Amino acid sequence: MKMPVLFIGHGSPMNAITDNEWSRGFKALGRALPTPKAILAISAHWWGPGTHLTGNESPDTIHDFGGFPPELFAVQYPAKGAPGLAQRIASMLPRADVSLGWGLDHGTWSVLTHLAPAADVPVLQLSLDQRATPEEHLALGARLAPLREDDVLIIGSGNLTHNLRHAFASWRQGIQATPDWAGRFDAEAQRTLEQHDGQALAKLLDSDDGRLCHPTLEHFMPVLYAIGASDRRDTVTFPITGFDMASLSMRTVQFG
């Protein structure tokens, strides 16, 4: 039996320490998943030149944000790493290497604190090469697919819509209504995901709605890894849906 593949809308890092509909959704999803031998996370927050894998024996919990309460900075996610698996995955990808200069950023641990709270499964991260095209990210995801046969849980972590300027303005003004452009993009992404159409999903970024939803691209790219690693025979479900801060899609996708 192959491991499922996930894309998780991680939202605010505060979801790690807040009891809300999103954190409860992450907990419920974790209870429903099979136990993997390892977790490979592709987080929006490791975005830079090159394709790298964490090779740490005990990866640090990275608090890659500012302006949040001390309780959030106190969170630690003490999962072990998987250096051997990192080397294997690097050999599966073109021009990839293993790095000791990163750990687990909040795109990974803010979700895993609920999905796998015991931190007893090894975790490693794969970076996002900011120079690669969406289609190239999709192709890298496809290269990861064999890991599913070896009980590796692949998790892309980002958000299907991510215009933070709009989200924070809505939050400050108490606006809860989702704008049409965010709703349309989320719905069109759902349609392409249900059809297993990774190429069409990647091209959504070229639309007017896509440019509004993603002024920068890093939060969209992890979903391309998830659909790339999926199989057309996988069932597609959406364990979590809805918007936070008016325009931030929290849609979670499960393949298989």
The string of pLDDT tens digits covering residues 162-188 is 998 988 888 888 888 999 999 999 999
The domains found in the chain, sorted by start residue, are 5-255 (3.40.830.10)
What pLDDT is attached to residue 211?
96
Residues 215, 21: Cα–Cα separation, whole Å: 26
The answer to whether residue 65 scores a pLDDT higher than 90 is no
pTM of structure = 0.96
- CA-nearest of 45, 50, 63 to 125 is 45
Residues 156, 125: Cα–Cα separation, whole Å: 10
The answer to whether residue 1 scores a pLDDT higher than 90 is no
Residue 80, token pair as written in the block: 């072990």
The answer to whether residue 10 scores a pLDDT higher than 90 is yes
Average pLDDT over residues 94-108: 96
What pLDDT is attached to residue 71?
95
What pLDDT is attached to residue 170?
87
CA distance to 32, 60, 168, 182, per residue, from 212 (Å): 34, 34, 15, 8
Average pLDDT over residues 64-86: 94
Question: Residue 109 corresponds to which amino acid?
Answer: W
Average pLDDT over residues 82-89: 97
What pLDDT is attached to residue 130?
97
DSSP 109-133: HHHHHHHSTT--S-EEEB-EETTS-
Average pLDDT, the chain: 96
Helix (H) or strand (E) segment spanning residue 73: helix 70-73
Average pLDDT over residues 59-69: 91
